[in-house]
């Protein structure tokens, strides 16, 4: 069964759209095989990390606890996987670990696109390629 | 009155980082102390940005006076002090990674080069901005030949680059998490 984001997650992505200094280009809720039942949100963000490409060939991932505005089950965490368009393209071309697990989740139908910038359809196309 | 947001600290750290780049001339020893001074400012403001971000997101409370102190010991200690989380990518783990023991020592070495009033009876310590004593009563200035060198500039350039880039990512991520609260 396809994933369905909670209203809290969709609302969070909607709020990210208001961040003008780091515009959101793509947001995907996905469920990799690891660390279930955590919530994984993958975002491509203009200017994230000044467009730096991580030398260790891993996208930036950070984990938060839930809170009253974003309730999670006990032991459940929110993972943000963040990258810039420049790094994203490099990561797809070289099939970095996060891209590999994102592609697997997509193949398994364990994902939902929560936002896609109409001006950047190429980002999603790269994942599907 | 609300405190300045993390993005303002990061913007200022970015300005210092850029200024260091502009001021440094490898062929001119007078610029070495200036570049290192800007690296110190870059690191200081980057770390204060993390504190401000955590404060803004309600993840951690940091005493306001830490923001006005050039000595980062207490602030770094406050940022590192937390039960180590189970997940390697937890925000606290990310902060501990940036402020690991090695980088903590490097930050201390850089911070020690900011000018400070000496303790009674102590020498005016070597720093990047004010004249200081190389021995009792023997004064020199940071811009003079031989007082700072290219190796030190490179050492602190690498430190500032790492701290700025990593903290910028953490601050950006916390800012996105903060949207769960508004």
Q: How many domains does chain B have?
A: 1
B122-159 residue pLDDT tens: 999 999 999 999 998 899 999 999 999 999 999 999 99
Count of residues making up chain B: 182
What's the whole-number average pLDDT of chain A? Answer: 93
What is the model's pLDDT at position B82?
65
- Considering the domain boundaries, does residue A1 fall inside one? no
Residues linked to residue A113 through DSSP beta bridges, in sequence order:
A28
What is the model's pLDDT at position B35?
98
- Considering the domain boundaries, does residue B1 fall inside one? no
In this structure, what CATH number is given to the domain that contains residue A122?
3.30.460
- Considering the domain boundaries, does residue A25 fall inside one? yes
Distance CA A46, CA B45 (A): 23
Its pTM stands at 0.90
The answer to whether the CB atoms of B175 and A19 lie below 8 A apart is: yes
Chain A residue closest to B54 (CA)? A64
A38-75 residue pLDDT tens: 999 999 999 999 888 998 999 999 999 888 888 999 88
- Considering the domain boundaries, does residue A2 fall inside one? no
B42-100 residue pLDDT tens: 999 999 999 999 888 877 677 766 777 777 888 888 888 765 666 888 888 899 889 99
Q: How many domains does chain A have?
A: 1
Give the best residue of B50, B166, B172, B174 to mutate against chain A (max A CB count within 10 A): B172
Q: Where in the sequence is the domain holding A108, given as residue range(s)?
A: 7-128
- Considering the domain boundaries, does residue A38 fall inside one? yes
- Shortest Cα–Cα distance, B58 to chain A (Å): 10
- Considering the domain boundaries, does residue A18 fall inside one? yes
The answer to whether the CB atoms of B90 and A43 lie below 8 A apart is: no
Q: Are B175 and A64 in contact (CB under 8 A)?
A: no
Q: Where in the sequence is the domain holding B161, given as residue range(s)?
A: 6-178
Distance CA B75, CA A51 (A): 28
Which of chain A's residues have a Cβ under 8 Å away from the Cβ of B85?
63
What ipTM score was computed for the predicted complex, to two decimals?
0.87
- Shortest Cα–Cα distance, A62 to chain B (Å): 5
Which of chain A's residues have a Cβ under 8 Å away from the Cβ of B178?
none
């Amino acid at each position: 069964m396809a994933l369905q984001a909670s209203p809290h997650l969709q609302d969070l992505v909607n709020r990210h759209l208001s961040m003008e200094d780091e515009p959101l280009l793509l947001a995907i809720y996905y469920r990799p095989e690891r660390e279930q039942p955590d919530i994984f949100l993958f975002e491509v963000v203009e200017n994230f990390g000044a467009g730096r490409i991580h030398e260790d060939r891993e996208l930036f991932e950070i984990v938060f606890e839930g809170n009253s505005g974003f309730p999670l089950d006990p032991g459940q965490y929110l993972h943000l996987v963040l990258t810039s368009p420049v790094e994203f393209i490099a990561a797809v071309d070289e099939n970095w670990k996060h891209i590999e697990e994102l592609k697997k989740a997509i193949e398994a139908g364990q994902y939902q696109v929560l936002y896609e910038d109409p001006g950047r359809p190429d980002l999603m196309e790269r994942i599907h390629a | 009155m609300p405190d300045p947001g993390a993005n303002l600290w990061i913007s200022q750290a970015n300005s210092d980082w850029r200024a260091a780049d502009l001021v440094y001339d490898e062929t001119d020893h007078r610029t070495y102390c200036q570049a290192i001074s800007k690296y110190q400012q870059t690191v200081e403001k980057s770390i204060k940005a993390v504190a401000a971000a955590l404060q803004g997101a309600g993840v951690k409370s940091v005493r306001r006076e830490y923001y006005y102190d050039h000595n980062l010991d207490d602030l770094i200690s406050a940022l590192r002090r937390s039960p180590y989380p189970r997940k390697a990518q937890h925000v606290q783990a990310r902060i501990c990674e940036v402020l690991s023991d090695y980088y903590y020592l490097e930050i201390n070495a850089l911070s020690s080069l900011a000018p400070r009033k000496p303790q009674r009876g102590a020498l005016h310590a070597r720093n990047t901005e004010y004249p200081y004593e190389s021995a009792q009563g023997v004064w020199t200035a940071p811009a003079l030949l031989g007082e700072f060198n290219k190796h030190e500039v490179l050492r602190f350039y690498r430190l500032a680059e790492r701290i700025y880039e990593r903290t910028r990512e953490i601050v950006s991520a916390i800012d996105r998490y903060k949207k769960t609260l508004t």
